[in-house]
Amino acid sequence: MIERFDSLSRLTVGLAAVGLASCLTSNPAYAGGKYQLGSGYDVGPFNFSGYMNFVVALPDQGPKSATLEDLSLFAAGHISKLINPFVEAELTHLVVADTDHSGENNTGAELVLERYYNDSYLSDSVILRLGKMLAPVGEWNLNHAAPLVLATSRPAVTFRNFAAYIQGVSLLYSDPEGGAPDMQVYWQPDWEETEKPRGVVFEQHKMAEGIHVSVPILQFDKVGFSFQRVVDFHGVTQSLVGGDFRYTLQNVTLQGEATYSSLSGGDMTRLRDDESGGYLSATYAFNPRWSAYSWYEAFMDRTQTSAAQDALVGVAYHPVDVMVVKLEYLQNFGGTPVNPTGLFASWSVLF
């Protein structure tokens, strides 16, 4: 698949090319680095890393499968205050084996440029980001690499009802002292051309704008607030408000997200003019290697008359800090399910 680049994409890639040229010509001492699992490999001011996620899905209904769900490669450069490119290329949904002999459910693997942007450090606390990036709606979408998230199965509210990616410009504020709230504002002009992984994109959006504010609580906990307004290619305008939180008490970690969207215009075949959902999770760490987790979600889709409800329980084992094996069971309760009932397992690693 060939990615089509617009003028903003070409500018971002151009900045990356300038940074690479600077790297290769400015200091011949930058010849290589020492590899460390989870931290990648340094070549001068560039770092190359990534992650892999292998999933076995055994739903109660439908075909069973073993899939290389994600193989992502990162390239990050730290050239100067103004030139700091980042690129993520991802191979997703490569089916290794399944029980669907007809092939109807195997839509094939995808290779996409999931992110490409440049960061310019305007000050110690403000970053200007230009390119294709993840939208800061909640926490899961920003930190969705499989080794970093709670479960193999992702709650619908963390990807289903908003623009998960934007292609435009963003300003990020972070207090160097860690006392003030972090903030990110973003804007995508009236176009969207590049491909997104189909597993997390249900509508193509031609305009997006929004803000996310994260308020720190103690050392590791936080409360976040999101607003996003988008217009999709059907002319539907969606205004979303949401909240997310993380709270840790000794061995127990609680976290969750909730959103509400109002819809207007465009395709009037939808059954509802709003969409809402939320999940709440709990994790108990037995020790640094073993933990148990669960989440419950209710999600009301714009095309449904009743909310889909899911409950999940699972266990995770970390052989090393950057590697995790998960085994979980998900059960649907009413409504049209987003995630199927069944048993799921995954093995993921940062490299």
pLDDT digits (tens, 9 = 90+) for 119-161: 999 999 999 999 999 999 999 999 889 999 999 999 999 998 8
Give which of 147, 154, 155, 59 is closest to 98, Cα–Cα.
59
pLDDT of residue 272: 86
Residue type, 11: L
Cα–Cα dist 45/24, whole Å: 10
pLDDT of residue 137: 95
Tell me which residue has tokens 């090393």: 320
Cα–Cα dist 253/251, whole Å: 7
CA contacts within 13 A on the Cβ side of 140: 27
Q: Cα dist. 299→229, 273, 275, 322 in Å?
A: 20, 14, 8, 31
Helix or strand run (H / E) with residue 98: strand 85-98
Which of 243-250's residues contact partners 24+ apart within 8 Å by CB, and which partners?
A: 244/138, 244/139, 245/221, 246/139, 246/220, 246/221, 246/222, 247/217, 247/221, 248/220, 248/221
For the chain, domains (ranges, CATH) are 7-350 (2.40.160.10)
Let me know the angle formed at the C-alpha of 190 by 188 and 195, rounded to the nearest 5 degrees. 70
Cα–Cα dist 264/270, whole Å: 10
Q: Where are the alpha helices (DSSP H) in the chain?
A: 7-26
Reading the chain (351 residues) residue by residue, the pLDDT tens digits are 333 334 444 444 444 444 444 443 434 333 456 788 889 999 999 999 999 999 999 999 989 999 999 999 999 999 999 999 999 999 999 999 988 766 666 667 888 899 999 999 999 999 999 999 999 999 999 988 999 999 999 999 999 889 999 999 999 999 988 789 999 999 998 765 555 565 555 566 778 999 999 999 877 899 999 999 999 888 889 999 999 999 999 999 999 999 999 999 886 678 888 999 999 999 999 999 999 999 999 999 988 888 999 999 999 999 999 999 999 999 998 888 889 999 999 999 999
Classify 58 as helix, strand or coil: strand
Which of 121-124's residues contact partners 24+ apart within 8 Å by CB, and which partners?
A: 121/81, 121/82, 121/84, 124/176
pTM value is: 0.84
Cα–Cα dist 17/298, whole Å: 45
Burial 55-81 (b: 16+ CB within 10 A, else e): bbbbbeeebebebbbbbbbbbbbbbee
